[in-house]
Structure 1
Amino acid sequence: FVSAWVGSIAYGLSMFVGPVTGLTMKRFGHKFAMVLGGFLCSISLCASSFVQGIDQLFFTFSFIYGVGACMSITPTMTLGQDYFDKYLGVSVGIMTSGSSIGTLIMAPTTQTLIDALGWRNTFRVYAGTCLLTSILNLFIRPITNRKKTQSDELRTSPLRRLIAELALWKNRVFIVWTTGITLVMFGYYIPYVHLVSFAVDQGATVEQGSIIIMVFGASTATGRLLFGKIVQLGLLNRLHMHQLSMILSGSATMFLPLISSYDGLLVFIIFFGLVDGCFVVLLPLMTCSLVRTDKVALAWSFLICSSSITFTLGPPVAGFMYDALGSYNLPFHFAGVPVILGALVLFLIPW
């Protein structure tokens, strides 16, 4: 139980400290934040390889890695608009598919490294890869070198900057958007966390559970590339596409307990992965569309900070329900409701 919280806190912090990353990007640029993030992740993994007790991991991994991951990942979700216009959808699809491809290769790679080198040296290997990403980020070329004006000088006051950035919460469209997505996140990732356990309850083996994860990685990568291209064509309403992806995901999750065969689970995860591709690609693209260009980085940061609370709470709540009831029927029915409600909230956005 305690070990599970080490990873959960790190993942939660990677979203919760979004506003800090947003302010860092606004003050120093995307490149600085990404380089710093990779460096922090590298330090975290290296330090974690020397710990003597799990309690030390709450600082070396949960805190440092969580902050570093936020610094590394958050800028990538808004950086594309600075470099792409016509091909923005495709660029986001390619970028987001990276994490899906990682899902395919990380589990077997990590297990192989642990078997060969032990967990401490595996941490050190990954510390090196994080440092490599930090070095690669040094090659990001700024579009323009913006000169500092007198008004910029005035905004260097921390209080003035804070007041200016919080004004984003006066934007009613942004409030509706954030409310809807925050609600969606309460149930959206419950199947991610509990699907393998559900499959084992249905009679699947641990090896088959691993196959489910790999199939999901392949299907969501395909979905992200596919819908990145579809969005670029501009033939469909982006907001309605996004809402439809949420409604389909929520509905599929609610019907998941009706599946009783392994083949049925594979069909579900392929469908869910493709729809997830649409949801993930449109999340940053819609955020870019709903706020001014100079507010995008901070808007995304506030969005993931707000969502981190429900994102972190959802899977444990479903887990507690499973422990109490001994079945995933009610947890999965429950998971689909906030996803569908969040999609309906977005009808309040004029589009």
Structure 2
Amino acid sequence: MLSIPPQQEPPDGGLQAWLVMIASFFCNGILFGTINSSGVIFAALKDDLEANGVENPASKASFCLSLTIGMTFLMSLVSGVLTDKLGVRLTTGIGGAIATAGLFISSLVYHKIEYLTISYGLLLGFGGSLAYTPSLVILGHYFRRRMGIVNGFVTAGSSLFTIVMPMLFEYILRLYSLKVLFQILAAIVSLLMVCAFIFKPRLAVRPREGALPGDAGAAASSRTLKNQFKKFVSQFINFEIWRNKRFVIWTLCIPIALFGYFVPYVHLVSKAMKNILTPSYVT
């Protein structure tokens, strides 16, 4: 939890604040531009798997890409805990390094869907998650009054990159191959580590109490295994917020709303190529 003494109020401006905003813009853009361009990669990967005689290429390719998307959001809990424990900078840097490594390894094993599922699906997704959460957390260190417009600018990065990156992907695939595409993506994603250096935290992190809310009077009797386990878990998870009904409803509704949200991003390009268009990267 963030403790904000009066002398550490967010500045709502200044060179460092605007640099943080731009870095967060690029984090969102790079991560979600890549995810939202999955349809182009899916079409190329499916054709490559078919050419290599892999059974059920569409299912295996879509599972690999869907795993990337799922890991990015599923690991947000881990990312939040690590952001509290390790800090914004280190968590973002580790995430960028893992995602970059995953993409570079993908360029070496793109013919092997089993390995690609690990490198692209798991490593890129996990690394992206570690970089994404801190890119939003850091905004609270520098902005309060202007948080609305800053959030809007940062999240617009995903929209802008989603427009540009599919065209870039198709251009690369038309001239080269998936191997080169993954290598170029690795170079782009490595910029997340540059963003990590810009994310200089300003606010102190207040450690959570070792006991659950309402357990202060039971401190003397907390030597049982059960209470010690609760104390340990409460260092990582804020149980108090789950007593807020509105938060619980919101938390449950968002995943439900997103359940089918990314399906078109993966399959729409292939569907269009099959029924309407000619794949530009094979012409």
TM-score range, shorter chain: 0.5 to 0.7
2:63 is aligned to 5
The RMSD of aligned alpha carbons is: 3.1
- Out of 145, 160, 173, the residue aligned to residue 231 of structure 2 is 160
Distance 1:175 1:98, change over 3 A: same
Q: Distance in 2 between matches of 1:103 and 1:28?
A: 30
1:67 is aligned to 126
- Out of 111, 118, 125, the residue aligned to residue 184 of structure 2 is 125
1:102 is aligned to 161
Q: Distance in 2 between matches of 1:27 and 1:38?
A: 17
Q: Deviation at 1:37?
A: 0.9
AA of the residue aligned to 1:121? V
2:146 is aligned to 87
Structure 1: 5+ residue stretches without partners: 211-351
State TM-score, norm by structure 1.
Answer: 0.51
Distance 1:100 1:161, change over 3 A: farther
1:115 is aligned to 174
Distance 1:118 1:196, change over 3 A: closer
Deviations 1:148-199 (A, max 9, x none): 87x77999x9863523515132332221111222332235445555666777
Q: Distance in 2 between matches of 1:200 and 1:49?
A: 24
1:44 is aligned to 102
Contact preservation (8 Å) 2:88, 2:134: yes
Q: In the TM superposition, what are the counterparts of 1:325-336 in structure 2 within 5 Å?
A: none
Equivalent residue pairs, number: 204
Q: Distance in 2 between matches of 1:188 and 1:5?
A: 15
2:251 is aligned to 178
Higher helix share: 1
Contact preservation (8 Å) 2:103, 2:182: yes
AA of the residue aligned to 2:231? R
Deviations 1:57-113 (A, max 9, x none): 121111111100111112223332221111111111111111111111111211222
Distance 1:20 1:171, change over 3 A: same
Distance 1:200 1:14, change over 3 A: same
AA of the residue aligned to 1:18? S
Q: Distance in 2 between matches of 1:9 and 1:153?
A: 35
Q: Once the two structures are aligned, what percentage of the paired residues are identical?
A: 24
Structure 2: 5+ residue stretches without partners: 1-58, 213-227
Moved more, 85-94 or 190-199: 190-199
Question: In structure 2, the residue corresponding to 1:49 is in which secondary structure?
Answer: helix
Q: Distance in 2 between matches of 1:44 and 1:192?
A: 21
Deviations 1:107-164 (A, max 9, x none): 1211222333422122112212222221232122211455x87x77999x98635235
2:277 is aligned to 206
Distance 1:191 1:11, change over 3 A: closer
- Out of 78, 81, 95, the residue aligned to residue 137 of structure 2 is 78
State TM-score, norm by structure 2.
Answer: 0.62
Q: In the TM superposition, what are the counterparts of 1:1-351 in structure 2 within 5 Å?
A: 1-51=59-109, 52-144=111-203, 160-164=231-235, 165-167=237-239, 168-189=241-262, 205-206=276-277
Q: Distance in 1 between matches of 2:160 and 2:177?
A: 24
AA of the residue aligned to 1:33? T
Q: Distance in 2 between matches of 1:121 and 1:195?
A: 23
